Amino acid sequence: MSAATRAEAAALDAADPLAHHRAAFDLPDVIYLDGNSLGPLTRAARERVATVVGEEWGEGLIRSWNTAGWVDLPTRVAAKIAPLIGAAPRDVIVTDSTSVNLFKVLSAALSEALPGRRTILSEPGNFPTDLYIAEGVAAGEGAALALSDDPLAALDESVAVLMLTEVDYRTGRRHDMARVTAAAHRVGALTVWDLAHSAGALPVDLAGAGADFAVGCGYKYLNGGPGAPAFLYVAPQHQDATQPLSGWFGHAAPFAFEPAYQPAAGIERFLTGTPSVIAMSALDAALDVFADVDLTAVAAKSAALADLMIARVDALCGDHLTLASPRSAATRGSQVSFRHPSGYPVMQALIAAGVIGDFRAPDILRFGFTPLYTRFVDVFDAVDILADILAARRWDAPQFHRRAAVT
């Protein structure tokens, strides 16, 4: 499915069965192709945060832990994420950040590994926090982190845990979770999957793939807001594992205030401290947009949006940009990246012109596709604007070269 003219792109929008979901979002007047880094505000989250602050906190005060159900938020929100990732609700919990959850599940995975196995295998291109956390866990557990550009080939009987991000944050390349998990299990290794760039964007089937552990972000495709709580998944057969951040919310009876730690049964032992109620409420409300959404349709539209972008970039910007993502949607997540030697100022010029993507060092222009609110005409217009910036070298102005702290 592609469009050679703006009218054809508009016709695709007119026929789009997901188009009505755009009204659930509170979008400013920009073309937003960065929902893979920070999802936008939903109308429901805006209202819910106002209620939580004004009524539940302002009026209810401490009573709201019970009367507003604050204490159940980690499991209630998890039950909304579970169907998006192919998991049973009791195998998912919402808590902490992705990095902290990775620390917990990696440690638990090492404790579940076959005797004598102390290697965590990953890729050098994995998201840095994953590698940093694995370094920390390895140092504390007398394990080692091994990196390979071809982790499937590097899998052998020394590997305790294979830790991968399903969709690569730079290129959008997608691993075949079922195939890779099966290969890990064949050599006796466990798997830890990072779903930061998958959850809410693509159908994920953790249980079907036989994945052992997973983590993911609340603030990207799930639209939970900046710094939204993250989630983690533990397959039922590993839920007796211990995790080292043994805080009171993971205790079997937190309000018994016992001096000794006794882990809760099941997934709740992966909690640590008090949930971030305002942030978790925003995520809870934002997740309602997925209530009647078929992720297969989301992924199909995402592939069509990305294919349109690639076709238009080939046609209009081919002399300037090199595709850094798989050309085939079959091995791609919900984003497309292009290389340009001056990627940073090009992206700054594009943002100044009202098209928001992001830059990833050293030379990547990255565009995320979020089919619940992104239209075909948005992609069409974005490439026209990008082509103009490149052809006229509008990016080569001093203000676009100044680096911001956060890219």
Ligand X SMILES: Nc1c(O)cccc1C(=O)C[C@H](N)C(=O)O
Ligand Y SMILES: Cc1ncc(COP(=O)(O)O)c(C=O)c1O
Single out the residue of 270, 253, 264, 107 nearest to residue 192, CA to CA. 107
Choose the one of ligand X, ligand Y, none that binds residue 98, judging by a C-beta under 5 to 8 angstroms depending on kind.
ligand Y
Contact by Cβ (8 Å): 347, 340: no
Could you say which of 3, 12, 202, 217 contacts ligand Y (CB under 6 A)? 217
Contact by Cβ (8 Å): 172, 190: no
Residue closer to ligand X (CB basis): 228 or 235? 228
Catalytic-labelled residue, pool 104, 117, 174, 220: 220
Could you say which of 62, 153, 361, 406 contacts ligand X (CB under 6 A)? 406
Residue closer to ligand X (CB basis): 363 or 388? 363
Least distance to ligand Y, CB of residue 337, Å: 13
Tokens of 9: 């792109």
Cα 406 to Cα 403: distance, rounded to the nearest angstrom: 8
Active site residue 367: no
Choose the one of ligand Y, ligand X, none that binds residue 174, judging by a C-beta under 5 to 8 angstroms depending on kind.
none
* Pattern 175-204, ligand Y, x by CB under 6 A: -------------------x-xx-------
If one asks whether residue 126 binds ligand X (CB under 6 A), the answer comes out as: no
If one asks whether residue 249 binds ligand Y (CB under 6 A), the answer comes out as: no
Catalytic-labelled residue, pool 32, 169, 213, 219: 219
Active site residue 219: yes
Cα 85 to Cα 94: distance, rounded to the nearest angstrom: 13
Contacts of ligand Y in 157-176 (CB under 6 A): 165, 169
Q: 122 pairs with which residues across the strands?
A: 147
Residue closer to ligand X (CB basis): 115 or 226? 226
Least distance to ligand Y, CB of residue 217, Å: 5
Cα 332 to Cα 15: distance, rounded to the nearest angstrom: 24
Choose the one of ligand X, ligand Y, none that binds residue 165, judging by a C-beta under 5 to 8 angstroms depending on kind.
ligand Y
Residue closer to ligand Y (CB basis): 86 or 218? 218
Half-sphere exposure of 93 (CA within 13 A, CB side): 27
Residue closer to ligand Y (CB basis): 40 or 345? 40
Active site residue 366: yes
- Judged by CB under 6 A, how many residues of this single chain contact ligand Y? 13
DSSP run (H or E) holding 311: helix 295-317
* 45 φ/ψ angles, rounded to the nearest 5 degrees: -70, -40
Cα 379 to Cα 51: distance, rounded to the nearest angstrom: 35
If one asks whether residue 37 binds ligand X (CB under 6 A), the answer comes out as: yes
The amino acid present at 257, given as its one-letter code, is: F
If one asks whether residue 169 binds ligand X (CB under 6 A), the answer comes out as: yes
What letter does residue 270 receive in the DSSP assignment?
G
User: Residue ranges for the binding site for pyridoxal 5'-phosphate?
Assistant: 98-99, 127-130, 165, 194, 197, 219, 248, 274
Cα 71 to Cα 277: distance, rounded to the nearest angstrom: 9
Q: 231 pairs with which residues across the strands?
A: 94, 216
Catalytic-labelled residue, pool 25, 32, 103, 127: 127
Could you say which of 97, 198, 223, 239 contacts ligand Y (CB under 6 A)? 97
Strands of 24-171, DSSP E: 31-32, 92-95, 119-122, 144-147, 159-165
Single out the residue of 200, 202, 229, 191 nearest to residue 101, CA to CA. 229
Catalytic-labelled residue, pool 366, 369, 373, 376: 366
- Contacts of residues 246-252 at CB distance under 8 Å and 24 or more positions apart, as own/partner, are 246/272, 247/271, 247/272, 247/273, 248/273, 249/74, 249/95, 249/273, 249/274, 249/275
Least distance to ligand X, CB of residue 169, Å: 4
> How far, CA to CA in Å, does 58 sit from each of 44, 161, 242?
19, 46, 37
Catalytic-labelled residue, pool 194, 307, 358, 378: 194
Residue closer to ligand X (CB basis): 70 or 193? 193
Residue closer to ligand Y (CB basis): 215 or 349? 215
User: Residue ranges for the binding site?
Assistant: 98-99, 127-130, 165, 194, 197, 219, 248, 274
Enumerate binding residues for ligand Y (CB under 6 A). Answer: 97-99, 127, 129-130, 165, 169, 194, 196-197, 217, 230
Enumerate binding residues for ligand X (CB under 6 A). Answer: 37, 169, 196, 360, 406
* Residues taking part in catalysis: 127, 194, 219-220, 366
